[in-house]
Amino acid sequence: MLAKEMVKQSLPLLIFCGIGGILAGSTLGVMADLLEQIPGLIVVIPAIIAMRGNISTAFGSRLGSAYHLGVIDADNMWNEELKQNIIGSLVLSFIISILIGILAYFSSVLLGVTPDLLMLITIVILAGIISAIILTIMTVIIIYLVFKRGYDPDNITGPALATFGDIVTMLCIFGSASLVVGVML
């Protein structure tokens, strides 16, 4: 692929990614009160954002590879390969969310903060599952659009999913924490 074509496909997306990073960081600023109310929540944020970004981009890469191998195509995406990848992504998100909640609790205790274990795990599971569902749908849509337009998925899906993952996950953490605080406190 020519460098000019790579720049044409990637530059607008990379500018969007920078703006998305600012938006995700701004969400953290809005969460200041929740971070004070829920000890240990600040420990969760980098882990859950990394989890969602890694799972979503790996899912997108797998779909891109499946497309290049002819296993799926833009006209026949809903096959067994896609279904198995979706199930794997959602199950992995659930399991890792539980582990993140437990590890965040023990990390917080080591740092001298004693959070409510049930509250922390509930927030992480809710945020992890909701963001997993949203990002799984977004991944399928992005992959479909990239294939339909004839772009190279390697130039588009990784940065797009990482940025969408950061934004969606921060909003899900904020929403889940607000919900759990409203119910449990």
Look up the domain containing 154 and give its range: 45-184
HEC string for the chain = CCHHHHHHHHHHHHHHHHHHHHHHHHHHHHCHHHHHHCCCHHHHHHHHHHHHHHHHHHHHHHHHHHHHCCCCECCECCCHHHHHHHHHHHHHHHHHHHHHHHHHHHHHHHCCCCCCHHHHHHHHHHHHHHHHHHHHHHHHHHHHHHHHHCCCHHHHHHHHHHHHHHHHHHHHHHHHHHHHHHHHC
Number of domains in the chain: 1
Position 18 in a domain: no
Position 144 in a domain: yes
In 3D, which of 93, 92, 101 has the Cα closest to residue 119? 101
Position 38 in a domain: no
Position 34 in a domain: no
Whole-angstrom distance, CA of residue 69 vs CA of residue 137 = 22
Per-residue pLDDT of the chain (185 residues; tens, 9 = 90+): 577 877 777 778 778 878 888 887 787 788 888 888 888 898 899 899 888 888 988 898 888 888 888 888 777 778 888 899 999 999 999 999 999 999 999 999 999 988 899 999 999 999 999 999 999 999 989 888 888 888 877 778 888 888 888 889 999 999 999 999 988 76
Q: Which residue has tokens 């960081």? A: 25
Position 109 in a domain: yes
Which CATH number characterizes residue 84's domain? 1.10.357.20
Position 16 in a domain: no
Position 30 in a domain: no
Position 148 in a domain: yes
The pLDDT, as a whole number, for residue 1 is: 55
